[in-house]
């Protein structure tokens, strides 16, 4: 465990998702002890579990809580319902428990419930008004976690654009985020891109390995060594096309499974270890994306534990850094000296063959448009 603790102590602002879809997970007080020992400073949960909220009291750990999808339409229709939820579920624990964010729904805009989509931003506005009524709006931000599927194009990053179906909702969401100084949250998983086409997608690029050549956006000439960071910049470009290029983009979920079914390419312990290790190293160095190099990217890893009751393929139950008995699923492989700087840490490269990922962009090199240049210049200011 020492190796993992060493790097996490260097990444105090790192976030992690603490899911609870399991029948064998440790009690919340033990989980909080683990998180505190690792000096993880930010945690996201998927409800307002009273036992969890109580356990985090006095720890100083920042907590994002979640409004489930089924409550969103009611909150949109009634400001009093938003106030009631906040008063009953969050206010009793605040500020001893440092709730700093509320995620309203999860990946709503890529679902098929049109009423839910139309209700999301109105619910967020009512919830923000309730926070203001209780004097909490200066401390708690309201946003929603989006799937990367809200983008019609994400590759190369400068071509990022929202889908036609999502764009009207995105304009409303981005306006709200600007009005309330809240971030845009994206759930981004390079693993899925690799799994879907392992013969064409570079494993090194998907794993954010810094040792490979990297991908160059032909329009901006920015170089990317991380697919995740490229995906984030694609969201920033998409928001800029709607006139909201200054909204910060944070990664609310990202991770890599350590185990999968036969058709789930790349779901291995080694790849999971490498992916999370690379992100931890970038966190230590305070690295931003190529488009926003001076703005450290806020990342929440998924997930703290393997969760045995999650439905779907085997990978869904194997994203955790830890087993439910609190033993490590894998060691992230860093040296044991907790005071070591990022520059002195030795990075192991992926055993997969290297490939110049710039070839992946070759077919997309069109004539550089004035619009792309203007957007890039504005975003880099």
Nearest to 183 by CA among 249, 134, 277: 249
Phi, then psi, of 62 in degrees rounded to 5: -75, 135
At 120-156, the pLDDT tens digits run: 999 999 999 999 999 999 999 999 999 999 999 999 9
Q: Which of 4, 253, 264, 307 is catalytic?
A: 253
Which residues lie closer than 8 Å to 161 by C-beta, 6 or more apart? 151, 152, 153, 237, 238, 241
| Any domain includes 374 | no
Q: Please state, in angstroms and rounded to a whole number, the distance separating the CA atoms of residues 113 and 243.
A: 27
| Any domain includes 306 | yes
Q: How many domains does the chain have?
A: 1
Nearest to 252 by CA among 344, 313, 186: 186
380 vs 45 pLDDT, higher one: 45
CATH number of the domain residue 93 falls in: 3.20.20.80
pLDDT band at 104 (very low <50, low <70, confident <90, very high): very high
User: How many Cα atoms are found within 13 Å in the side-chain-facing hemisphere of 372?
Assistant: 19
Distances (CA, A) of 114 to 2, 71, 120, 190: 48, 15, 10, 28
| Any domain includes 359 | no
Which residues lie closer than 8 Å to 169 by C-beta, 6 or more apart? 109, 117, 118, 120, 121
> Model pTM?
0.86
Range of the domain at 42: 1-349
Q: In angstroms, how far apart are the furthest CA atoms of the chain?
A: 58
At 207-249, the pLDDT tens digits run: 999 888 788 999 999 999 999 999 999 999 999 999 999 999 9
Whether 307 sits among the annotated catalytic residues: the reply is no
**In the chain, pLDDT over 90 holds for what percent of residues?**
77
At 51-94, the pLDDT tens digits run: 999 999 999 999 999 999 999 999 999 999 999 999 999 999 99
| Any domain includes 118 | yes
Whether 114 sits among the annotated catalytic residues: the reply is no
Q: Which of 4, 62, 107, 264 is catalytic?
A: 107
Q: Please state, in angstroms and rounded to a whole number, the distance separating the CA atoms of residues 168 and 242.
A: 10
């Amino acid at each position: 465990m020492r190796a993992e603790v060493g790097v996490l102590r260097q990444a105090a602002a790192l976030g992690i998702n603490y899911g609870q879809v399991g029948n064998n997970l440790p009690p919340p007080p033990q989980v909080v002890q683990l998180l505190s020992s690792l000096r993880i400073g930010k945690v996201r949960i998927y409800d307002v579990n009273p036992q969890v909220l109580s356990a985090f009291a006095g720890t100083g750990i920042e907590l994002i809580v979640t409004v489930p999808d089924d409550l969103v339409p009611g909150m949109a229709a009634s400001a009093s319902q938003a106030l009631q939820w906040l008063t009953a579920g969050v206010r009793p624990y605040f500020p001893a428990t440092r709730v700093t964010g509320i995620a309203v729904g999860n990946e709503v805009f890529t679902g098929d419930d049109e009423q839910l989509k139309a209700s999301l931003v109105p619910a967020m506005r009512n919830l923000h008004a309730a926070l203001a009524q209780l004097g909490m709006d200066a401390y708690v931000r309201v946003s929603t976690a989006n799937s990367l599927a809200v983008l019609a194009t994400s590759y190369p990053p400068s071509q990022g654009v929202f889908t036609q179906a999502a764009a009207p909702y995105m304009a409303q969401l981005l306006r709200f985020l600007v009005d309330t100084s809240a971030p845009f949250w994206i759930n981004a998983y390079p693993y899925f891109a690799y799994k879907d086409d392992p013969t064409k997608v570079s494993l090194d690029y998907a794993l954010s390995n810094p040792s490979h050549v990297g991908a160059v956006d032909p329009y901006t000439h920015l170089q990317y060594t991380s697919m995740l960071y490229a995906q984030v910049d694609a969201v920033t470009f998409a928001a800029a096309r709607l006139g909201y290029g200054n909204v910060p983009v944070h990664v609310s979920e990202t991770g890599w499974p350590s185990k999968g079914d036969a058709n789930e390419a790349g779901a291995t312990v080694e790849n999971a270890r490498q992916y999370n290790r690379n992100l931890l190293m970038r966190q230590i160095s305070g690295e931003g994306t190529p488009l926003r190099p001076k703005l450290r990217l806020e990342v929440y890893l998924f997930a703290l534990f393997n969760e045995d009751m999650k439905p779907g393929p085997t990978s869904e139950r194997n994203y955790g850094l830890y087993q439910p008995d609190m033993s490590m699923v894998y060691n992230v492989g860093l040296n044991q000296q907790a005071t070591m700087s990022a520059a002195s840490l030795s990075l192991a490269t992926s055993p997969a063959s290297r490939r110049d990922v710039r070839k992946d962009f070759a077919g997309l090199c069109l004539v550089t448009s004035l619009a792309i240049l203007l957007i890039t210049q504005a975003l880099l200011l």
